[in-house]
Amino acid sequence: MSTDIYTIKLGLNSCYLIRGSGIVMVDGGLPGKINAFRRKLAKFYIHPDSVKLIVLTHSHFDHVGSAKEISDYTGAKILINESERVNLEEGQFIMPRGTTTYGKITRFMLFPFLKNIPYKRPKADITTGDEDFSLSEFGIDGQVIHTPGHTHGSISVLLATGEAFVGCMAHNGFPFRSMPGLPIYAENIAAVRESWKKLIGRGAKIIFPGHGDPFSVEVIKRELSL
């Protein structure tokens, strides 16, 4: 099955459309980005009805902020890990700890401004747990995999061909990191490392982060000394 990947920048968030025989979107961007999303679909000659599922890697506002409007526009179902569902539907924001000095400083500075950002709250149509979730019914040869660490319920999409869409399991570029690498914010950085070992063991090759451009998994292998 051939697969096309389209990047859609919705604010600081890098969202992705994965097209096989159907289309799955990864993450929903910052609030207020529905018009930007519409323009991107038109640019790619994609009909809104073709988008069947939105996978939310976690419930932070910069990944889910426009998900409801995108879902309403396309008719796509929304998927998130069960442990993130309440935060998603009630608009709760729990900012992870800083994992680096820069992360700790910026967390302290930014949290008071980020904790109450409003957005239209989506409802989860599908929730997952620790088990994998196949995307075959949506026309994609890949799996949703539980990859905790950045948040307890963080999930990733791993395609059979090795492309991994990981949300904030990695950061790449301003304002997070100057070079790709492990996240500067995480609830549990040890769990992040274990989740990366899981993805690498299952064949992840090219990493598509929630912030910044794609990069080789070799970057993460070096950080983990694998």
Tens-place pLDDT, residues 181-202: 999 999 999 999 999 999 999 9
For residue 6, is pLDDT > 80? Answer: yes
Nearest by Cα to 99 from 190, 199, 221, 210: 190
Domains and CATH numbers, the chain: 4-224 (3.60.15.10)
Q: Residue length, the chain?
A: 226
What is the rounded average pLDDT of the residues 67-88? 97
Helices (H) and strands (E) in the chain, counts: 7, 16
What is the rounded average pLDDT of the residues 126-144? 97
For residue 112, is pLDDT > 80? Answer: no
What is the rounded average pLDDT of the residues 163-191? 94
Identify the pLDDT of residue 174. Answer: 83
What is the rounded average pLDDT of the residues 1-6? 85
Using CA atoms, how far residue 191 sits from 14, 25, 32, 151, 187, in Å, is 23, 25, 32, 9, 8
What is the rounded average pLDDT of the residues 207-224? 97
Residue 95: DSSP 8-state: P
What is the rounded average pLDDT of the residues 217-226? 94
Considering the chain, what percentage of its residues have pLDDT values greater than 90? 86
β-bridge pairing 163-167 and 206-209:
parallel
Identify the pLDDT of residue 1. Answer: 58
Query: Of 62 and 112, which is predicted with more confidence?
Result: 62
For residue 212, is pLDDT > 70? Answer: yes
What is the rounded average pLDDT of the residues 7-23? 96
Identify the pLDDT of residue 109. Answer: 81
